Chains A and B, each alone.
Chain A
Amino acid sequence: MTAPTWLRWAWIAPAGFLLAFMVVPLVSLAGQVLSPGTIEYVSDSLPWRVAGLATVQALASTAVSLVVGLPMANVLTRYRFPGRRWALALATVPFVLPTVVVALAFRSLVGSDLGSGFLIVVLAHAYLNMAVVVRIVGARWSTIDPRLDIAARTLGASRWTAFRTVTLPALGPAIASAAAIVFVFSFTSLGIVLLLGDSNTRTLESLVLRQTSILLNFQAAAVSAAIQAIVVGSVLWWAARTRNAIPRGALRTFRLRRPLGSARWAVGIVVAATVVIVLAPVSSLVWSSVRSSSGFTMSWWAIFAGFETIDAGSTRIGSPLSAMARSLSFALVTGLVAATVGGLAAMSVLAHRLGRAFALATALPLGISAATLGLATMLAYGRPPVDLRATGLLIPIAHALIAVPLVVAVATPTLRSTDARLVTVAATLGARPSRAWWTGYGPTLRTVMIAAGGLACAVSLGEFGAASFLARADGPTVPLVIARLLGRPGEASFGAAAAMAVVLVVMTTTLVAAVDRGGRRS
């Protein structure tokens, strides 16, 4: 194939981005961990106690996510029925919702009396992460031949025995993989824990934020972040080993089955449960945005009438409309940076001999928690001698770093599936290398970049963890404004937070739906 020369060097831009905004900050963080006095913080019982609490909470969240997600995975990815695609999309919605929105939705659903503590944190995590179970386990389940179950039953196994002895062992690695991801998300949770948790549901992530922004103890925060990184790394390593246990051989997806007999009931019950589980918190949130103690009201939506601040006392909230504009501009920059960096990375993966290794390197930010990323970025670029906080670039850069792996994950397989012979055809018709390459890959690349950029925008709009570290007090993003409003008493604050959350939900889901639609078309 005739590849243009510049393509061989396309990796330099994404590599430089990762070096500047991932490696350098992590080195700064490591410098804090390895500096004198660290032993004092390592021997402190606080981070270890918090790690224990977070482990118990994350295990419970994982168990509930599996209990809710497995029946959904079974029904939504294996049976054919009217509305299946819609139900599958609905089950995925919570995963794309910003964490502060989910926290607010759960608070409005259960009320302020029950609105905090272990149980509600676990339920909110299960709500956010059940889509992980549905997608990962469902993808594996759809490759298991349904006739294996029939074969087992004709050999004397009851339905349950057939499931336990044949289906479950085949699903095992996928379940372990999904469980590991849910555990890591719950273990490193910040937004849910801050807004719904109490002293027994702290995570190392929330401890890092407290040590950084309130106690101003960067060294202690770095130690907490390092402990968290070790736990997360160990779990992900275990998950990678488990994934290798999936039986080799060509996987194929089996045709969806029409539910018969008792399976019809199972499908009906699971679909109804999916609708109720997903929509109940969201409906409650919408209801909260138009409800006051005296009945229906639209007054909470008045915060969008102008750019006036809604500060009260010592709580600085600023103008919701300004926050909205700020979040949108951050999202736009994030989308542009992530699509460019991720797109070039995906092209390099295709063009270079070391493409696979490079793809792995671009995925590294996925394993770094938002708080670790935020803290590391602040240590490197948020204080003298290099203080970029005033430029307003730190948040979009951190968000782009979070979004680049998603862009690469979306773009690489699509580019790979493009027929490379089109480039050869164009070259044989007289096109120069760059033109020939663009003729072959350009149309796909353009569609994928728009879709991936949209995804990055959605990530940025709802991101809470890194923004908590990097936003200036007078320049909060929408999720930060919602969190600040929730920390203020009174129904007006709650109503205003709900109104902002509804707008955030509409913006995020519209973007993700547009990306999904565009992706399917391409």
Chain B
Amino acid sequence: MLVVDNLYAGYGKSEVLVGTSLTVKQGTVVGLIGPNGAGKTTTMRAISGELKPTKGTVMLDSKPVQGLDASRIARLGLAHSPEGRRVFGPLSVEDNLLLGAYHRLPRFFGFRSRAAAELERVYDLFPRLMERRRQSAGTLSGGEQQMLAIGRALMAQPKIMLLDEPSMGLAPVVVDEVFSIISRLKESGITLLLVEQSASRAFEVADYAYVMERGRVVMEGKPAVLQQDARMVAAYLG
């Protein structure tokens, strides 16, 4: 589904990614973990086209997409729910969700009815968003905004979803709630690349995980295996 090979990217002269490689198979949840500044978010941004990679390849459905505009890559079926949630604050919750499905809806009229089934699915998953659908997104709590960001990405009916640090800045109870949603999505067969600072959280839902340090993958494996690894325990799980 998604194959990233030897990816280099950075901001200006400073290179953040120095040869990152990873693979996400269809229907699996893959965790990307590592300390602050390891390049997890940069990896996400280089995959989704928000940042242009300087070297390496990104294959989506065996087609190279590196260097394309983010909006093109999104239309090819990749939904990136970015770090910090980035909901459209002045717009209503429902408008945020509708915009998530932008690329497959008519531009002028009739978009609401065309999106109705998907909208219902998302509201079913996040009843709180249903209650607040007319409220402007900027007035939601952090947890609700995170749910909106996930819901917005789901609206695209993506082939693969990139989810960056869904636990950031949230209270532990809310994080539990978010991860139980991710488990439900996993049961429904979603293909997901999940960036998470907290390794133990990521291991709860991931089928496979990559550990990044200083811009490259230093370890990979099934969570059950990684959890036994002495270096892993010392650095992230201790």
Chains A and B belong together in one complex: no
Residue ranges of B at the interface with A (Cβ–Cβ < 8 Å): none
